[in-house]
Amino acid sequence: MTKSFFHVHWTLFWVSHASRRKPELQSSNYWFRFPSSASCFLPVLALIIAAVQASADTYQLICENPLREYTVSFSDGDINIQLGTPDGTTLYRVLAVEETTERHVVVALTVNDGPTARLSLRPYLRMEYWSGNELFQTDACRVP
pTM over 0.85: no
Banded pLDDT at 7 (limits 50, 70, 90): very low
Instruction: Determine contact, residues 59/47, Cβ cutoff 8 Å.
Output: no
- Residue 124, Cα to own-chain centre: how many angstroms? 20
Collapsing DSSP to helix, strand or coil, 112 comes out as helix
Angle subtended at Cα 121 by Cα 103 and Cα 138, rounded to the nearest 5 degrees: 105
For residue 144, what are the CA distances in angstroms to 62, 104, 133?
Answer: 6, 19, 31
Instruction: Determine contact, residues 91/44, Cβ cutoff 8 Å.
Output: no
Instruction: Determine contact, residues 105/126, Cβ cutoff 8 Å.
Output: no
Listed by start position, the domains of the chain span: 2-54, 58-142
- Residue 37 dihedral angles phi and psi, to the nearest 5°: -65, -30
pLDDT digits (tens, 9 = 90+) for 64-100: 998 999 999 999 999 999 999 999 999 999 999 999 9
